[in-house]
Copies of this chain bind each other. A is one copy, B any other.
Amino acid sequence: MAEHRFDPNFTDNVINAMGPKTTPRFRQLMTGLIRHVHDFARENEVTVEEWMAGVQLMNWAGQMSNDKRNEGQLVCDVIGLESLVDEITFKLAEEAEDAPTATAILGPFFRADTPYRQNGANIVKDIPDGEMAFMHGRVIDFDTKKPLVGATVEVWQAATNGLYEQQDPNQEEFNLRGKFKTDEEGRYYFYCLRPTPYPVPDDGPAGKLLKLMDRHPFRPAHIHIIATCDGYKPLTTQIFDRKDQYLTNDSVFAVKDSLIVDFVPRKDDPQAGLELNYDVKLVEQPT
Contact = CB atoms under 8 A, between A and B. Distances in A.
Contacts of A251: 17
Contact of A214 (B21, B55, B214): B21
Interface of A: 5-7, 10-11, 13-14, 17-23, 26-30, 32-34, 36-52, 55-56, 58-65, 70-73, 76, 79-89, 91, 93, 106, 209, 212-215, 249, 251, 253
A10 B84 CA distance: 8
* Copies of this chain assembled into the complex: 2
A29 B46 contact: yes
A214 B27 CA distance: 10
B34 A79 contact: yes
Given A26-B213, A47-B85, 8 more contacts: A22-B213, A27-B213, A29-B44, A32-B40, A37-B81, A42-B88, A49-B89, A51-B82
A45 B213 contact: no
A26 B36 CA distance: 18
Contacts of A249: 17
Contacts of A50: 29, 85
Given A10-B84, A59-B61, A65-B59, A36 B47 contact: no
A18 B62 contact: no
Contact of A17 (B46, B51, B61, B215): B215
5 contacts: A5-B93, A6-B88, A19-B213, A26-B213, A48-B89
Contacts of A14: 79-80, 253
B88 A45 contact: yes
B72 A59 contact: yes
A85 B41 contact: yes
A214 to B, nearest CB: 3
A33 to B, nearest CB: 6
Given A11-B80, A36-B40, A253-B14, A86 B30 contact: no
Nearest to A20: B214
